Amino acid sequence: MEKYDVAVVGGGPGGYVAGLRAGQLGARTCVIEERELGGTCLNRGCIPTKSLLETARIFAEINKAGQFGISTQGARIDFAKAAERKDEVVGRLRRGVETLLKVAGVEVALF
């Protein structure tokens, strides 16, 4: 059985930051997470939503291009590509959290 100085339940924004800080301070630390690091905001809430909103914002700007003499007939959103980009953004940020914890010597237990 592993022994830790600190065990953090939950790898969301509060949990992974607490685990990171404990690891930086030299405590043998484990972050325990049921799903994936980053919590709801990173994986299913704020970040995915902002990624898709940025796609919509750019599309809206393209549709206003005619006001500037720029023809954009046929512009359309490829939702599969937008969803792929959203997944890439989420994955990159999640890998960043994983790397920070690893560098700090924090173990992660996913269930």
State the pLDDT at residue 74.
87
Angle made by CA atoms 104, 106, 110, in degrees to the nearest 5: 140
Question: What is the tens place of the pLDDT at every residue in 35-47?
Answer: 999 999 999 999 9
Name the phi and psi angles at 8, rounded to 5. -105, 125
Domains of the chain from N-terminus onward: 6-110 (3.50.50.60)
Q: How far apart are CA 92 and CA 109, in angstroms?
A: 20
Q: Residue 1 above 80 pLDDT?
A: no
How would you class 23 by CB atoms within 10 Å of its CB: exposed for 0-12, middle for 13-18, buried for 19 or more? buried
Percent of the chain scoring above 90 in pLDDT = 93
The residue behind tokens 């970040």 is 47
pLDDT tens sequence across 10-57: 999 999 999 999 999 999 999 999 999 999 999 999 999 999 999 999
Of 42, 35, 16, nearest to 100 (Cα)?
Answer: 16
What's the predicted TM-score (pTM) here? 0.87
